[in-house]
Structure 1
Amino acid sequence: MSSSTEKGDVDVSKIRTPTGPYAQHARGTSDIEKGLEEAGNQPRVAAPVLRRYKPFRNANNLVIDVDVPSKLLGLCAKRSEREFTHMRYSAVTCDPNDFQSCGFTLRQVHYDPPRRTELFIVVTMSNEDDILFCQTMHGVMENISHLCGRNRSKTWGKDAWKKVVVCIVSDGGSELNLRTISVLTAMGAYQSGFAKRMVNNIPVAAHVYEYTTQISVSPSMTFEGAESGVVPVQIIFCVKDKPRGKINSHRWFFNAFVPILQPNICVLLDAGIRPGPTSIYHLWKSFDIVSGIGGTCGEVVVSKGIMGRNLLNPLVAAQDFEYRMSLILETPLESVFGYIRNLPSGFSAYRYIALQNDSNGNGPLVTYFNGEKILQSARDTSLITLNVQLEASRVLCWELAYKRGGQWILHYVKSAYAFIEVPRSIPELLLRHQRSQNSSFFAMIHIMARFTYIYRSSHSILRKFWIHIEMLYHAYTLVFNWFAIGNYYVVFKVLTDSLEDPSFHLAKFQTANIVLDYFYLGMLFVSFLLAMGKRPQSSRWGYTICFVGFGLITIYMLTAGILLAVKTAQNIQHGDSGPLRIRHLFSNLVFRNVVIPVIVTAGLNLLASILFFEPWHMVTSFVQYLLIVPSYISVLSVYAVANVHRLSLGDRTDDINKPDRKGIDQPVIVEKDVDEEYEDAIHMLQTDNPKGNLKGDVMADRDGDFRMKILLAWSLSNALLAAIVISVTGKAADKGVATTINGYISFVFFSLAGLTVFRFVGSTTYMLVRLFVGE
């Protein structure tokens, strides 16, 4: 045994190394390298651009430089520098918070001079397949090529790739897709056989691979190199030893790697989201133009497929309309105020200095990463807090915008866009909507409870005033959404009953109204039963029937609304003529309280879409969205509230999308030691039988009790609202349509129109500001 092994280092004879092995610690020649010399294997000499360091004295750090395949080098334009000819593997044996203090480092700081990182891009992934991964990675490499082509820029230019680092963080090796691993191997960013579960009896927390690739793999699985405009890209591929969630992946990025590189801007992406070819540049440019911006986001556009064929699926079309109108009306409004509730972690960017903690160790990142501890200690945490942490980026946005002593604002960049694959089946849509609705609701309550944070910031009085206005808007929207299911039933009931007004001579609709009323309540009852039952995947047909049923109800409501407007106009025209007819039309209660608000709402949506030069979704997706809206309000909301205790991630890590891994080896080859396996078996036998797990029973009782309280409060409050309004309003056949419309129903329609007007003013203001800023 060599002297290095006697000192407690890794036995190099057990390390699988390819041709030309080279073992080196982060700060210089290591004891592993000495062991290779004693074995007769002379290490390769480092390239001249690498600094020489003092001997590294922490023997727990295993760092190995290995040759990349000769075939890969044959595809590359640059073949001399060590960052192209060698991949570096590091077995990280510490928590990400201790990465730097434990002596671990990254290649970029070893060059002479050390490379300055302007953009640090993180791509979080779990079990995404090769197509989804390539969509993201190929898009990122296109953006880096664009940066290298901006020769007139003071920051970017020919060698701009040296200022950009891409970090891919995988949530556990066992979660990786085999074909995705093959893509990374083809790019040179991964080689199997070096991952170690233990280094000197210390568990390995993460496996880090570093390489500068010159190969991009497109979603069509074609290899592209310098001849296609691909420039070198510095890649850090971090594979966590165990799956611990996205927040933990971001903690590896922000607490382990970012402090070493000290980037200016950090860009967050999810695997599967494809950024536009210039989107990352536009995100960066917004920070460069306005120094007070702390975080930005771009458009998240639904992927429509070739010639828009994905829109043939009504679920995709409805989500396309929803995303578009949110990006046209909602997000620009929030951007004008300076606070956006949620910068999506799948496509957003932050100024690193804005995220850093203060001298007391407090800051946005500390609060954000507390979510990891909260989710891990679910037994001792309330379900309200747990639901807030399902989309912890909402909390991060609030903490950043109102950081103590800070003046950071959050901004929307319309010129930056990325394509996302949305759910194409009802079960997938239910899971994703559950997370979004529950997290949004409880996060808003969480933020309003901490509204006084705005006074600890250094924002101007005018900015704080506008934030008060925005919070009032969010509070009103929150209450209005809580009663959405009750309000929609009231609208259905009053609108259909209005056809029974004797002056309309439409008595034949009375029987249809009675039948559809019971049908509506029956569909609602079925939605509750399905939501309280098994997983959505096992009730696919039941949910499909509910979606179709509520779609038919929508058609009937639209018919009733059109007949109501036409009959009202005919009755007015019968006795009047000329200008008097028009004046009486606008003074009519039905026309004023129903028709005008509907026209205003639809008209402003169309006008805003035209002003944003994006009117096509009004043609391709509006009808589908209109038919699915009742299912959004009823079916999806019922499922979300009834499953508030199920902390589903609602993304591709759900069981619905996990590939069948039966009989497949883990892509990251980490063999389990036989002694470790034996210890696990002994531990299992010494652990109490799960059947007698009292803590688990108590936790289940707690979750069930909370779920029941929320469900009862929500359903009973909506039922009470509907019962009171319908009983007070009465039937149109008895009181007349004007009396029934002039009550609560007019408040609902004017609220919808008022919110639309408010959003339209905000989005228009955003467009005007954007013209002057020149974003």
Structure 2
Amino acid sequence: IESGRVGAAPKRDSFKVGVDMVNRLGTCAGPVSSHSPAELRTMYYTPCANKVVSNFTNEGYRLHCIEEGRSPQLLVVITMYNEDEVEMYSTLKKVANNIEHIKSKKLPGYEGDDSWKNILVCVVSDGRTKANKGTLAFLRDVGVFDEDAMNIMMVGVDVQCHVFEFCVQLKKGKDIADSIASKHLYPPTQVVFALKEHNAGKLNSHEWYFNAFAEQIQPEYTVLLDVGTMPTARAFYLLLAAMELDPQVGGTCGEIAVDRPIPHLCNWVIAAQHFEYKISNIMDKSLESVFGFISVLPGAFSAYRYKAIRGPPLQAYFKSLTTPMHELGAFQGNMYLAEDRILCFELLARKGQRWTMQYVKDAIARTDVPTDLTALIGQRRRWLNGSFFALVYTILNWGRVYTESNHSYIRKFFLCIQYAYMTANVGLSWILPANFFLVTYYLVIIGFLKDNWGYIPTDKISPYAKQIAVQVFSLLYGSSFLVQLVAGLGNKPKHIKNLYRITAVFYALVMTLTTVIAVGFILKPIIDKFKAGYVFADIQGIMDNFNLVDAAAFVASAGVFFLASALHCELHHIVLSFVQYMALLPTFVNILNTYSFCNLHDLSWGTKGLESSDGHGPKAGGGKGNFKDAVEKKKAEEARKAKEAKIKDEMEGAFQRFRSTLLIFWLLCNLGFAYTIIVLDVNEATGQQGLAYLKFLFYTVAVFNLVRLMGSILFLFSSFKLKIFRCCIRGTMEERIRAKAKRRSQHPPGHIV
């Protein structure tokens, strides 16, 4: 890719047709007349037949903006599958808002009335037959789709991608219906609608965007979006400004937030995800941004400096498309379920470079999330498996940061700290179900038997009744985990949704009981001591038992969420969704993890089946042929199919073997850890069980959360300094504007670097 064609792109002696859009646009688009400039009234269609995506330029295909002598410096990709027209309009409207804001802020290279010419929006749809009919009708109304032209021009051509190009002017409005009567228009937006003939996955859509369109245009920045993601008006400007101000920043991301969370707080699945998204942004993204390496810049909303990822990073990103799955293997196959994480690591460790990544808090994009448990399980199966294996890949290849990259010694030192943090995090997540069980075992079961439930009296219950209750509870808990194993092996969540709901309710009740007991277990001894006349001066007496230090560790394990969110002015979000998240926490730990490990052999996206390109496109004519040749061809075809079937069968067997081996190992690790703690953590002198383990767990969680809190605070300081700097950079921006104008003047029209 990096050694691409230099000079004028070749002209292709094939189809690019212009369609006059006068009197053909719908009511949600701005009017055009015969007096309008040609680019505002002509839609261009090209049927692309290049089977290798990266050959788009070499085979002579050229985008209209290149033919007009323009090379936009900002490319925005919007990946689409079967989303409806409402989601498409919402996203396009938000993109137009951002273009308008970039123009008003005079970002270098995007100033003036013609600033829209320096921005190109690519909508890539994954499969012609999969696209939503209403969405295609909407795109037809705004001028970037024409089914008649497509059907006529694709005859006799093995089309891989239908490329429509038009300058869209949307009417302003809250929704499609409201925009019809509006007289206010957004600035023109150059739109390329790439309708892929075959459904080949989102990653293939990104391949068309990067290896075909971006490689030809050579933009300075690229922004990645999904249809349905709605960035706020300042989002693009803030992402780009972060890279403008620091030339070493190769990628940025903002906050992905749940769309309209407050009205949906009664839906516990949505509320729990809202809490999770907020904490991830407030604490995790902030901490990673301070170190300079963000483990994932989400493909639904992120931006990259194109030269930072062009070449080896993108080659690694698309490896699962260029390498047969049986050669990739199960480990890399699962790893590439989170290919955006691979791209981030390759960007950090790029040879001879020192690219960093940055989280921009004020750049916000809202998106829809799964609304029920079964949809959440399907989504998180891919997320958990992909992120786990990608994180393991990052840890195993971390040495490249020190041997290949050109980061400073100070940066490498802090990245070493981040490496230790990530490694410890992976270790804890591996035995997370065991830790949750042990906390439940010691607080609920042992505490019940020893009358140590804090403020809940249990001393009047007979020993026999206690034993019966403990056996029933243990049976229910153990059975629930076994049910998850059986349900996860070969069942789709939507087919057994009631089973998952019942199990989730049981886990929520267990979590509620455990939390109440834990609070009483920690606070009751301290409150009783102060009631008995203890004062803070008697430090040694308090320190002798499970006391203030332990209580502080317990509070730190959850209290930092509220402190960090208050510092980020997001406290109300955390307060309103904390209870729902805590109730579903065991579901995240047990149900989602178990289902994910039970389906390590499944490398699909859960909702989108991929289709083969066989059977599409033009067929060779019969003609006159030798009978012997026909027989030989038939035999060769049958041999090829037999070989492919054998490879597929062997691959499926290898993947299932990998799944079974790792699942058994994961179960043995969790069972072995839990058994070891139960056997060893017994104080023979006092008869106490689990006290040392609970202390260690509380302290460990507290340390992890305090590290995250510290990173969050440092991020706020750096973010505050950046805001001050933005107020004083007018001279810097003017200098950048002049430099960009000079660079553009050095490239003749149609020149491809």
Q: Same fold (TM over 0.5)?
A: yes
Whichever residue aligns with residue 180 of structure 1, its letter is T
Equivalent residue for 1:460, pick from 363, 386, 408: 408
TM (norm. structure 1) is 0.83
Q: Secondary structure at the match of 1:238?
A: strand
The 3 A distance-change label for structure 1 pair 607 and 574 is closer
Q: Hey, what does 1:230 align to over in structure 2?
A: 186
2:488–2:599 Cα contact (<8 Å) kept: yes
Q: Hey, what does 1:712 align to over in structure 2?
A: 664
Equivalent residue for 1:579, pick from 516, 526, 536: 536
- What are the superposed Cα offsets for residues 563-597 of structure 1, whole Å, 9 maximum, x if unpaired? 3234323553465533356653344225533x322
CA distance in 2, matches of 1:527, 1:502: 31
Equivalent residue for 1:181, pick from 115, 119, 136: 136
1:483 aligns with 2:437: no
Q: Over aligned residues, Cα RMSD in angstroms? A: 3.0
2:172–2:182 Cα contact (<8 Å) kept: no
Equivalent residue for 1:450, pick from 388, 392, 397: 397
CA distance in 2, matches of 1:57, 1:721: 66
Percent identity between the two aligned chains: 28
For residue 92 of structure 1, report the CA deviation from its aligned partner: 1.0
- What are the superposed Cα offsets for residues 19-78 of structure 1, whole Å, 9 maximum, x if unpaired? xxxxxxxxxxxxxxxxxxxxxxxxxxxxxxxxxx99x8743x211011114152986366
- What are the superposed Cα offsets for residues 479-518 of structure 1, whole Å, 9 maximum, x if unpaired? 0000000011011111121344368773357454443232
Q: Hey, what does 2:513 align to over in structure 1?
A: 556
Note the 1:448-597 alignment, pairs <5 A: 448-455=395-402, 456-496=404-444, 497-501=446-450, 506-508=458-460, 510-511=466-467, 512-569=469-526, 571-573=528-530, 576-580=533-537, 584-589=541-546, 591-593=548-550, 595-597=551-553
Q: Hey, what does 1:723 align to over in structure 2?
A: 675
Q: Hey, what does 1:666 align to over in structure 2?
A: none
1:340 aligns with 2:294: yes
TM (norm. structure 2) is 0.86
For residue 432 of structure 1, report the CA deviation from its aligned partner: 1.1
Note the 1:635-714 alignment, pairs <5 A: 635-650=591-606, 653=608, 687=638, 693-714=645-666
For residue 693 of structure 1, report the CA deviation from its aligned partner: 4.4
Equivalent residue for 2:383, pick from 419, 424, 436: 436
Equivalent residue for 1:620, pick from 566, 576, 597: 576
CA distance in 1, matches of 2:171, 2:686: 69
For residue 403 of structure 1, report the CA deviation from its aligned partner: 0.8
1:243 aligns with 2:199: yes
Equivalent residue for 2:95, pick from 126, 140, 149: 140
Q: Hey, what does 2:745 align to over in structure 1?
A: none
1:604 aligns with 2:553: no
The 3 A distance-change label for structure 1 pair 590 and 154 is same
CA distance in 2, matches of 1:474, 1:588: 33
Note the 1:29-68 alignment, pairs <5 A: 58-59=12-13, 61-68=14-21
Whichever residue aligns with residue 325 of structure 1, its letter is I
CA distance in 1, matches of 2:235, 2:534: 57
Q: Secondary structure at the match of 2:491?
A: coil
Note the 1:732-743 alignment, pairs <5 A: 739-743=688-692
For residue 477 of structure 1, report the CA deviation from its aligned partner: 0.2
Equivalent residue for 1:103, pick from 41, 60, 78: 60
Q: Hey, what does 1:205 align to over in structure 2?
A: 160
Whichever residue aligns with residue 346 of structure 1, its letter is A
Q: Hey, what does 1:163 align to over in structure 2?
A: 118
CA distance in 1, matches of 2:244, 2:583: 43
CA distance in 1, matches of 2:180, 2:73: 25
Q: Secondary structure at the match of 1:579?
A: coil
For residue 93 of structure 1, report the CA deviation from its aligned partner: 1.6
Q: Which has the higher contact order (CA 8 A, sep 6+)?
A: 2
For residue 284 of structure 1, report the CA deviation from its aligned partner: 1.0
CA distance in 1, matches of 2:635, 2:300: 38
CA distance in 2, matches of 1:748, 1:654: 42
For residue 381 of structure 1, report the CA deviation from its aligned partner: 2.6
> Alignment length, in residue pairs?
690
2:126–2:198 Cα contact (<8 Å) kept: yes
- What are the superposed Cα offsets for residues 657-716 of structure 1, whole Å, 9 maximum, x if unpaired? x9xxxxxxxxxxx997687899xxx98996589999444433332222111101100011
1:289 aligns with 2:245: yes
Equivalent residue for 1:327, pick from 258, 262, 281: 281
Q: Hey, what does 1:420 align to over in structure 2?
A: 367
Q: Secondary structure at the match of 2:603?
A: coil
2:22–2:32 Cα contact (<8 Å) kept: no
The 3 A distance-change label for structure 1 pair 186 and 77 is closer
2:12–2:61 Cα contact (<8 Å) kept: no
Q: Hey, what does 1:364 align to over in structure 2?
A: 313
For residue 218 of structure 1, report the CA deviation from its aligned partner: 6.0
Q: Secondary structure at the match of 1:295?
A: strand
For residue 149 of structure 1, report the CA deviation from its aligned partner: 2.9
Note the 1:629-640 alignment, pairs <5 A: 629-640=585-596
Q: Hey, what does 1:354 align to over in structure 2?
A: 308
For residue 135 of structure 1, report the CA deviation from its aligned partner: 2.2
CA distance in 2, matches of 1:86, 1:534: 51
Q: Which stretch of the first structure deviates more once superposed, 403-412 or 115-124?
A: 115-124
1:131–1:219 Cα contact (<8 Å) kept: no
For residue 254 of structure 1, report the CA deviation from its aligned partner: 1.1
For residue 272 of structure 1, report the CA deviation from its aligned partner: 1.3
Whichever residue aligns with residue 298 of structure 1, its letter is G
CA distance in 2, matches of 1:618, 1:57: 57
Q: Hey, what does 2:75 align to over in structure 1?
A: 120
For residue 132 of structure 1, report the CA deviation from its aligned partner: 2.1
For residue 773 of structure 1, report the CA deviation from its aligned partner: 1.6
CA distance in 2, matches of 1:100, 1:57: 9
Q: Secondary structure at the match of 1:416?
A: strand
CA distance in 1, matches of 2:164, 2:99: 20
- What are the superposed Cα offsets for residues 289-336 of structure 1, whole Å, 9 maximum, x if unpaired? 11111000000001126xx22222100000000010010000010011
CA distance in 2, matches of 1:126, 1:683: 37
- What are the superposed Cα offsets for residues 395-449 of structure 1, whole Å, 9 maximum, x if unpaired? 1111111111111101101110101111111121111111111111111111122
Whichever residue aligns with residue 689 of structure 2, its letter is T
1:384 aligns with 2:331: yes
Q: Hey, what does 1:48 align to over in structure 2?
A: none
Q: Secondary structure at the match of 1:625?
A: helix
CA distance in 2, matches of 1:296, 1:340: 9
For residue 198 of structure 1, report the CA deviation from its aligned partner: 8.3
For residue 285 of structure 1, report the CA deviation from its aligned partner: 0.9
1:404–1:457 Cα contact (<8 Å) kept: yes
The 3 A distance-change label for structure 1 pair 675 and 548 is same
1:221 aligns with 2:176: yes
CA distance in 1, matches of 2:617, 2:108: 51
For residue 177 of structure 1, report the CA deviation from its aligned partner: 0.4
CA distance in 2, matches of 1:204, 1:690: 28
1:312 aligns with 2:266: yes
The 3 A distance-change label for structure 1 pair 272 and 514 is same
Whichever residue aligns with residue 549 of structure 2, its letter is R
Whichever residue aligns with residue 143 of structure 1, its letter is N
For residue 453 of structure 1, report the CA deviation from its aligned partner: 1.2
Q: Secondary structure at the match of 2:296?
A: coil
The 3 A distance-change label for structure 1 pair 105 and 683 is farther
Whichever residue aligns with residue 652 of structure 2, its letter is A
1:135–1:218 Cα contact (<8 Å) kept: no
Q: Which stretch of the first structure deviates more once superposed, 254-263 or 204-213?
A: 254-263
